Structure 1
Amino acid sequence: MPAEMITTPPLLEVQGLVVTTTGPDGETVRLIDDVSFTVDDGEVVGIVGESGSGKSLTMLAVMGLLPYGLEVASGSIRWRGKDIVGLREQQLRQIRGRDIGMIFQDPMTALNPLRRIGSQLAEAIRLHQKVSRAEARTRVHGLLARVGVKDAATRARAYPHEWSGGMRQRAVIAMAMANDPALLIADEPTTALDVTVQAQVMMTLEQARAELSSALILITHDLGLAAQNASRMLIMYSGRIVEAGSTRDIFLSPTHPYTQGLLRSQLTARDERAYAIPGNPPSPRSRPSGCAFAPRCELARGRSICVEVRPRLETRPNGSRSACHFADEVRSPLPVAPIGSEG
């Protein structure tokens, strides 16, 4: 008999994730609602959506860092095939910081303002590796040099407030790299940085990822930033994934009105008038029973199915997945040059 084929599980596999909290009236509120996705070794995945769509909260659930009062109510989070939901804190620490490194959105809150930057990076190393203080210090200097910090030995003695925003972000990237993780999670890594520094930080992040051969999850509200760095995208809205597919397919042939709206807002530089999606995302306590985007969607007008029936995330002819009853009617917002083409 032929030997059975051995299949390798994804690096990260999230299935049916539901994160809940308790509302002021004692009701259960779903903040993340049935989210499923995978990330393979070395892959770069972008998670895109407006503020409050659930991007960061999903990753905090993966890291076991949900704020007090929130919990994973159902679903699984598998790291290399092993479900890590419900693991004790000590067990999670063996994965968090060693196998998975997270680059938080605000480096000033990620770094302790009362401790020198080098000391904080050394602690991240010694928590997971049996090395002396001197060895950890040498590694810290090497990490800072790898992310573009000149005169690393001297700069490591500085406090966070003595570094600029872009330099602090480099320090946070170095901390995430400290133990050569298999997965990096970057949560809005360029927020509040000017355009030039944004480009430098993203170049540093990509170099770090390439050196480690790590997978990367890039959380952002900027479709353009995701397109430049990710091969695949997950579009989130109101705690759910509404579209998923390759970056090329999502840019050239979006299959959800929300994705179409995000693209139109990105491409208004070619138009005289700026575009913004009308309305606001619903509160998790007041989501429609059907499609959460229906109150803001032009395709949903006059169609009761959009208000009454929640659409399933289904595979479309182009290979992407979309949670829209009328995905076939969604059109590319503007002619767009193929991703990666010149001119």
Structure 2
Amino acid sequence: MSAEMIRKAPLLEVNGLVVTTTGPDGETVRLIDDVSFTVDDGEVVGIVGESGSGKSLTMLAVMGLLPYGLEVAAGSILWRGKDIVGLREQQLREIRGRDIGMIFQDPMTALNPLRRIGSQLAEAIRLHQRVPRRVARARVHDLLDTVGVKDAAKRARAYPHEWSGGMRQRAVIAMAMANDPALLIADEPTTALDVTVQAQVMRTLEKARAELSSALILITHDLGLAAQNASRMLIMYSGRIVESGSTRDIFLSPTHPYTQGLLKSRLAERDERAYAIPGNPPSPRLRPSGCAFAPRCELSRGRSVCVDARPRLELRANGSCSACHFAQELGAPVAPVGSEA
């Protein structure tokens, strides 16, 4: 078999992931429902959707950090070809921080307010590397310098509350970089930051990713932010992926009404009224048996197929996928996933 015929395994491969919890009446509630995707070495993937769509929860499942009461009920999470679902905590700790670094949404909760920032970064290094304290300290100063913190040796002695929001986010990025991970997961890294600081943080994140040659998963509700940074996008709604494809295809020819609604919801031109998708996402307990987006979809208009049948994620001729019964009306013809496009 030639080298060209041997497909390199993805860095991360998630197949049929289902995350459940128990409802108040003892029923099983699917929070993440049959999610599948891959991430290759060095790739930047954006995961986009409204709050509550399951973006962060999917990544917490990947990290083995699901909150108490939630569990992976089905599916696999393959890291470099090895299924990490069900690994013992000690085994997961060897992957977290070393192979996968996560940048959490709120740096104030990610950092210990009672410990100096330099001490926390040094601990992240020494957990995975057997190095003397002085070596770890030097590495901390290099990391802070890399993410744009001036006078790193002095600033490392400060506590989190003594840093601004943007600076704390840089510290969290530095912590995620500490052990040269192959994958960085950034969960809403610019939330609650003003526009100028957002741009600075994203430049810092891209510099960190480039320096490590690592892959990046960017979780965001901001399509514009994903467009500027990701080569491929996954659109999530109500715990499921409803559309995926290259960033170019998502923006130029979206074939799911939810994606179209998100695009229309971006800031309108000067003389246009802002658009908002009508209604609200369903509670996981009350998710419709058919298309979860049907109650909010202008294209559905009560069509029985939308109410009765859950649409499958289907492969379009250009390689993107859409989970809409009427994707053909919205764009290129579709074919079932697995068939030839």
- Asked if these proteins are the same fold (TM beyond 0.5), I'd say yes
Output the CA distance in 1 between the equivalents of 2:72 and 2:273: 43
Please report how far the alpha carbon of residue 272 of structure 1 lies from its aligned counterpart in structure 2 after TM superposition: 1.9
Output the CA distance in 2 between the equivalents of 1:324 and 1:2: 38
Q: Judge conservation of contact 2:62–2:77 (CA < 8 Å) in 1.
A: yes
State the SS of the aligned residue for 1:78.
Answer: strand
Please report how far the alpha carbon of residue 8 of structure 1 lies from its aligned counterpart in structure 2 after TM superposition: 2.1
Q: Judge conservation of contact 2:294–2:302 (CA < 8 Å) in 1.
A: no
Output the CA distance in 2 between the equivalents of 1:330 and 1:239: 23
Residues 1:259 and 2:256 are matched in the alignment: no
Q: Judge conservation of contact 1:14–1:78 (CA < 8 Å) in 2.
A: yes
Residue 166 (structure 1) aligns with: 166
What are the residue-to-residue correspondences of 1:241-320 with 2, within 5 Å? 241-269=241-269, 271-320=271-320
Q: Judge conservation of contact 1:47–1:218 (CA < 8 Å) in 2.
A: yes
State the SS of the aligned residue for 1:173.
Answer: helix
State the SS of the aligned residue for 1:41.
Answer: coil
Structure 1 residues 299-318: Cα deviation after superposition (integer angstroms, max 9, x where no partner): 11031100110000001123
Output the CA distance in 2 between the equivalents of 1:218 and 1:208: 13
Residue 337 (structure 2) aligns with: none
Same amino acid, percent of matched pairs: 89
Q: CA RMSD in A?
A: 1.4
Output the CA distance in 1 between the equivalents of 2:257 and 2:77: 29
Residues 1:108 and 2:108 are matched in the alignment: yes
Please report how far the alpha carbon of residue 3 of structure 1 lies from its aligned counterpart in structure 2 after TM superposition: 8.6
What are the residue-to-residue correspondences of 1:161-240 with 2, within 5 Å? 161-240=161-240
Residues 1:133 and 2:138 are matched in the alignment: no
What are the residue-to-residue correspondences of 1:79-90 with 2, within 5 Å? 79-90=79-90
Structure 1 residues 60-114: Cα deviation after superposition (integer angstroms, max 9, x where no partner): 0000000000000000000000000000000001110000000000000000000
- TM (norm. structure 1) is 0.95
Structure 1 residues 179-205: Cα deviation after superposition (integer angstroms, max 9, x where no partner): 000000000000000000000000000
Q: Judge conservation of contact 1:21–1:71 (CA < 8 Å) in 2.
A: yes
Output the CA distance in 1 between the equivalents of 2:4 and 2:252: 40
Q: Judge conservation of contact 2:190–2:202 (CA < 8 Å) in 1.
A: yes
State the SS of the aligned residue for 2:269.
Answer: helix
Describe the shift of the 1:293–1:207 C-alpha distance in structure 2 as closer, same or farther (beyond 3 A). Answer: same
Residue 32 (structure 2) aligns with: 32
State the SS of the aligned residue for 2:33.
Answer: strand
Q: How many residues align?
A: 332
Describe the shift of the 1:240–1:73 C-alpha distance in structure 2 as closer, same or farther (beyond 3 A). Answer: same
State the SS of the aligned residue for 1:242.
Answer: strand
Describe the shift of the 1:139–1:30 C-alpha distance in structure 2 as closer, same or farther (beyond 3 A). Answer: same
Please report how far the alpha carbon of residue 319 of structure 1 lies from its aligned counterpart in structure 2 after TM superposition: 1.9
Residues 1:8 and 2:17 are matched in the alignment: no
Q: Judge conservation of contact 1:165–1:193 (CA < 8 Å) in 2.
A: yes
Residues 1:61 and 2:61 are matched in the alignment: yes
Describe the shift of the 1:320–1:119 C-alpha distance in structure 2 as closer, same or farther (beyond 3 A). Answer: same
Q: Judge conservation of contact 2:18–2:35 (CA < 8 Å) in 1.
A: yes
- Residue 40 of structure 1 aligns with an amino acid whose one-letter code is D
Q: Judge conservation of contact 1:243–1:320 (CA < 8 Å) in 2.
A: yes
Please report how far the alpha carbon of residue 2 of structure 1 lies from its aligned counterpart in structure 2 after TM superposition: 7.1
